[in-house]
Amino acid sequence: MIDSNWEAHYIKRGDPSKPTYYIIRRKSEISGLFYRFIQIAGHINYALNNGWLPVVDMQNYPNAYLSPEKLGKENAWEYYFEQPLRIGVEEAYNGENVILSTGEEFWPCPNWGMAFFENRDNTLTEWRMLLKLGLLKIKPKRLKELEDVRQKLFSPKDRVLGVLLRGTDYVVRRLRNHPIPPPVEFAASTVFAKLKEWKCNKIFLATEDKAIVKIFQKVFGEICIVLDRQYVDYNPQTDKSVTMSRIDRPNDYFLQGKDYLTQIWLLSVCNSFVAARCSGSVAAMMLAKNFEHTYFFNLGSYGAITLE
């Protein structure tokens, strides 16, 4: 495993005429896949602006999608996405010049501000260029699986309203500067209105929270489609962060990331989109080619310092 010195530094500085590899890593083990996705987007942009070759390392640092016995052996990023320039970590670390990212929060990156969601000053369009250039490409094998799920869940005649809501630890922890998600009943009433206004006949609900699923299924019945996955029955007194909670099944680390990717990608191919502001909704907007309509709950942000 690479020495976890989290200060930005060259670990190798050699022939300046040779490429410089920029290793993108994340200090927090509990960061979700799409928070990593938007942070990695920022790092890719930063690396290319400096003439460096970006490489994502979710192999040598613990994370929620890599089982402990595979640490240092497999790259969890490559379970779901291609490397930005198709350069693996082994090639990068063997290069003449190697820089490690700090592993901390990175700016600028795609973000959950309304300016991003409303594409003011073409902010969203510019970040989408990373996908158009193949720098944040879903692995072809995963994409085929996603298309198969789409065909099973949606009819070509359906007009689907994608809905993304967060619950569980996101609400309980009230992290400072994170957007406040809407109460579920208020969200349901908004979705009901948008269904009629935008002439949709189905809802695809993406969430991790079993309680939200139950409420939406009760309100909307059979028109509410959800992914066939295990949802969290969250107990704030005993449960860890959702990202670090494990499900008793083979290959759970990989499958939790795959479930998350599937939900976000399915949202991105819906006709219209209603969402709480969070990393998943940022990623869905980047992945989407053209929503007919969007609506984001803009209820401010948590201000008090709370549980870490």
Domain ranges of the chain: 9-100, 139-297
Q: Are 179 and 278 in contact (CB under 8 A)?
A: yes
**Which of 10-14, 66-70, 185-189 is the least confident region?**
10-14
H-only helix segments in 198-278: 210-220, 252-268
Alpha-carbon gap, residue 254 to 244, rounded angstroms = 12
pLDDT band at 299 (very low <50, low <70, confident <90, very high): confident
**Which of 52-61, 98-107, 195-204, 273-282 is the least confident region?**
98-107
Residue-wise pLDDT tens digits, 252-264: 999 999 999 999 9
Alpha-carbon gap, residue 138 to 158, rounded angstroms = 25
Q: Are 57 and 23 in contact (CB under 8 A)?
A: yes
| For residue 305, pLDDT beyond 80 | no
| For residue 57, pLDDT beyond 90 | yes
pLDDT at 308: 31
Q: What are φ and ψ of residue 224, in 5° steps?
A: -90, 110
Residue-wise pLDDT tens digits, 201-246: 999 999 999 999 999 999 999 999 999 998 877 555 555 566 777 8
Which residues 6+ apart lie within 8 Å of 66 measured at CB? 58, 59, 74, 76, 253
Segment 126-155 shows an average pLDDT of 98
Count of CA atoms in the C-beta half-sphere (13 A) of 190: 19
| For residue 277, pLDDT beyond 70 | yes
| For residue 194, pLDDT beyond 80 | yes
- Note the CATH number of domain 139-297: 3.40.50.11350
- Cβ-in-10-Å burial (0-12, 13-18, 19+) of 5 comes to exposed
Stated as kind and residue range, the H or E segment containing 130 is helix 123-132
Alpha-carbon gap, residue 246 to 44, rounded angstroms = 30
